[in-house]
Structure formats: structure tokens, C-alpha cells
Amino acid sequence: MKDSIKKEAIFNHSIDKVWNAISNGEEIAKWFINNNFKAEKGYEYTFTASEERGCLTITGEVKEANPYTLIYTWIVQDTNTETTVKWKLEELENGTKLHLEHSGISNYEGETAVNMFNSFSGGWAECIENLTKHLAL
Amino acid sequence: MQDKFTKILKAISDPTRREIFHALILVTSALPINQIATNFNMTRQGVTKHLKVLENANLVTINSQGRERYCIANAKPLKEVNKWLQFYEQFWDDSLNNLGKYLDES
């Protein structure tokens, strides 16, 4: 079972503009989530999803914040499982390439549980909507 | 607020609870609390505390029969954990789309 999610995106904007959007709290609030974020190593931030999106709270610590790498831990409320979100920017000729990695996700299960549900592979009615509703960030 | 999903995450975040759950899955039948306590070298109180957390997440069902209480595992809720990965895939796709739009507009 894979442990991380990786995404890449290319923006036709300068690397500093993209860096500002992902590392400045006021900017983060405009496209991502309410926050008290500061891009300072060791800073403990809180992200808060709006009420209609479940009031979910995410906390974590900034591990690295040097242009153009931003790393913070990501702990969803009421769980003590730490995952890590890493943003890395790469300057292109006419824009910026963003690499995003969210790792440690299988920490949620632990090995035993992973094996467990790999072997229980069928027939479950489940609801991604519900999950999305509850977790929607 | 503690929704169903975070209860599951909380239940399986503890190694002892995972072991108890795993043992219950392997036996595929109901086990009395006393026997689980003996197997895990724990007090009845200690094991009951863990079983309550598992029960709260619907990973274990506890039934009384006479004076003994029997536990049986239910793996179904774990499916939701798998959905977590799928959820984040979508979540980050959406977030990066939002970021792209925001950059274009600002």
C-alpha cells in the first residue's frame, strides 16, 4: 500500500508569487484554508476549515521554510497521527513547477491494519460523501 | 466534535489496540473479555478500556452472555481508512486547482 500522495502542477507565474501564495498566511486563507500560519521553522500552526466544511482542525509544526521548500507536519484533530506535507518549487523558463508530497498517510492504519483490510477486500458499502462532508477541508 | 472517522483513527492509532483487534480478527469468533485479558497479560479493567475505544469505533462488538461479555471484531470500518487516501487525492487536486485560479486572478 502506498504511503504518500504526490502531485505536480505548473503555473505561469513567478516562483516568488507562488511561494508567497503557499507560505503567507493571508494568501493561504484566500485559496486554501483559514489559518494562523507563519513560515518559520518550529512555528506551530492551526488550520481551521469553515463550518459548512465540518469545522475540522488541523495542527502541525513547520519543519522547513526556506525558499523554495516548505515542510510542515499535518495532524487532524482527535488523532495523534502525524503526516507530513512538503511543498517544493522549481523555477521554469516561463513559470513555476510545484511539487507537493503528502507522506506518512499509512501511519493511520499501522501495518496490522493495512494487512487486515487488504485481505478484506470486498462488499463494503461506504460513503465517500460522508467522509468528504466530515473531513472536507 | 468527534465523528465516526476520527473515532476509527483514534482506535487504531494505539499499538496495543491494534494487537487486540488483530487477535480478534484471527480467531473469527467471539472471545470472552477475561480470555483476552489473560492472553494479553492485562487486567480486565485495562483490556476493557481498550475494547471500549474499539467498540466506540464499531471495530468490536461486545455482547453479554450470562456473566461473561464476549467480543467479536468487525473489520468493515477500516474500509473508510482506505478512503482517506482517495479523499486526500481529491483534496490536493482541488486545492492545487484553487491555487492555480487564485494565482491567475491576483
User: What is the average pLDDT score of chain B?
Assistant: 86
Q: Report whether B51 contacts B33 (CB < 8 A).
A: yes
Stretch among A23-32, A85-94, B12-21, B94-103 having the lowest mean pLDDT: B12-21
Only one residue has cell 476520527, namely B6
| Position A34 pLDDT exceeds 70 | yes
Stretch among A24-28, A131-135, B68-72 having the lowest mean pLDDT: A131-135
Residue of A nearest to B25 (CA): A116
Within a domain: B71: yes
**Burial track A47-85 (b if 16+ CB lie within 10 A, e otherwise):** bbbeeeebebbbbbebbebeebebbbbbebbbbebebbb
Stretch among A51-55, A101-105, B77-81, B101-105 having the lowest mean pLDDT: A51-55
Q: Report CB contact under 8 Å: B6, A78.
A: yes
Which grid coordinates belong to B44? Answer: 480486565
Question: What are the pLDDT digits (tens) for B44-85?
Answer: 999 999 999 999 999 999 999 888 999 999 888 877 666 666
Cα–Cα distance for residue pair A111/A103, rounded to 1 Å: 15
Mean pLDDT of B85-101: 86
For residue B46, give the 3-state DSSP assignment. helix
Which of B2, B8, B10, B12 is the best mutation test for A, with the most CBs of A within 10 A?
B12
Q: Say if the ipTM goes beyond 0.90.
A: no
Within a domain: B88: no
Give the number of C-alpha atoms closer than 13 A to the C-alpha of residue B63, restricted to the C-beta side: 7
Interface of A with B in 47-66 (CB under 8 A): 54-55
Within a domain: B85: no
Q: Report whether A108 contacts A121 (CB < 8 A).
A: no
Within a domain: B28: yes
Q: In terms of pLDDT, which residue wins out, A117 or B17?
A: B17
Within a domain: B46: yes
pLDDT score for A50: 65
| Domain of residue B25, CATH code | 1.10.10.10
> Cβ neighbours of residue B105 under 8 Å, at least 6 residues apart?
none
| Position A26 pLDDT exceeds 80 | yes
Which grid coordinates belong to B68? Answer: 461473561
Cα–Cα distance for residue pair B87/B83, rounded to 1 Å: 6
Which grid coordinates belong to A118? Answer: 487488504
pLDDT score for A122: 28
**Structural domain that includes position B8:** 4-76
Q: Report CB contact under 8 Å: B9, A81.
A: yes
| Position A108 pLDDT exceeds 60 | no
- How many domains, in total, are found in chain B? 1
pTM score, two decimals? 0.60
| Position A48 pLDDT exceeds 80 | yes
| φ, ψ for residue A122, nearest 5 deg | -145, 165
Tell whether A129 lies on the interface with B, counting CB pairs under 8 A. Answer: no
pLDDT score for B76: 83
Closest alpha carbon to A113 in B36, B47, B54, B34: B54
Closest alpha carbon to B50 in B40, A116, B74: B40
Domains of chain A (ranges, CATH numbers): 4-135 (3.30.530.20)
Question: What are the pLDDT digits (tens) for A74-85?
Answer: 987 766 678 899
Which chain B residues touch A if contact means CB-CB below 8 Å? Answer: 1-7, 9-10, 12-13, 15, 18-19, 21-22, 25, 75-76, 78-93, 95-96, 98-104, 106
Question: Which of the four pLDDT bands, split at 50, 70 and 90, describes residue A91?
Answer: very high
pLDDT score for A5: 82
Only one residue has cell 482527535, namely A78
Within a domain: B18: yes
End-to-end CA, chain A? 24
Within a domain: B92: no
For residue A123, give the 3-state DSSP assignment. coil
